[in-house]
Amino acid sequence: MFHKEGFTIILISFFLVAIIALLAHFFVKIPGLRMGIQIAALIGLVLILQFFRNPKRIADQNPDHILAPADGKVVIIDEVHEPEYFKDNRQQVSIFMSPINVHVTRYPASGVIAFSKYHAGKYLVAWHPKSSTKNERTTVVVKTSEFGDILYRQIAGAVARRIVNYAQEGDTIVQGSDAGFIKFGSRVDLFLPLDAKIKVSKDQHVVGAKTIIATTNNE
């Protein structure tokens, strides 16, 4: 199953690969070179399909849980000052998505969208310390029943060139459902209350809509 944001790119890629394969078949006379071109084109198509896969996941919805908003590796767990919306200290958990990860963004909790804003920016590598505030990004705040306001931020990286964000202010959203897409991956930051209990560790691999990132004191 592939994400709808990739349909056009997948279709274009399929036709380009078919054209390249046919041109190589009819015009490249050296067998080894011809096969090499065709294999390289096929590998390119497989990578495109890999980028846009969208496995169906049903979240175990729980208002006392914050679920991973994306697949990837936890690269930051820290108490930081969040300057855009909260303007105070929050716990930050950042998930880096490599090219082999699923690139769908999923809502980490159920609630109402209180804030949603797009920021144009640079394309620093996603692990750069300033990528959270300098890169192209979206900031979304969800008003939840148990955690209060939580914030997640989609961040473009050196390869990603388009962020898709479905969150609209006033929308009621469901934990684990599709929140958007970062084409060709990058990073998602979560900003949580200081009293939230973090359940993941740095360098841990997490699965969107499945891995529990944090719980309330009720757990």
Mean pLDDT of the chain: 88
pTM, entire model: 0.82
Instruction: Check pLDDT > 90 for residue 201.
Output: yes
- Quick check: 57 and 210 in contact, CB under 8 A? yes
pLDDT of residue 134: 65
Alpha helix segments (H runs only) across the chain: 7-27, 31-51, 131-134
Q: pLDDT tens across 13-35, in order?
A: 888 988 998 898 888 889 899 89
pLDDT of residue 158: 57
- Quick check: 157 and 185 in contact, CB under 8 A? yes
CA-to-CA distance for 164 and 5, rounded, in angstroms? Answer: 8
CA-to-CA distance for 92 and 188, rounded, in angstroms? Answer: 10
Which tokens hold the place of 206?
A: 């997490």
User: What is the third-level CATH fold of 65-215?
Assistant: Glucose Permease (Domain IIA) (2.70.70)
Instruction: Check pLDDT > 80 for residue 195.
Output: yes
Q: What are phi and psi of 45, to 5 degrees?
A: -65, -40
Q: Which of 13, 94, 131, 186 is catalytic?
A: 186
**In the annotation, is 116 catalytic?**
no
- Which segment, 27-31, 43-47, 158-162, is predicted with the most confidence on average? 27-31
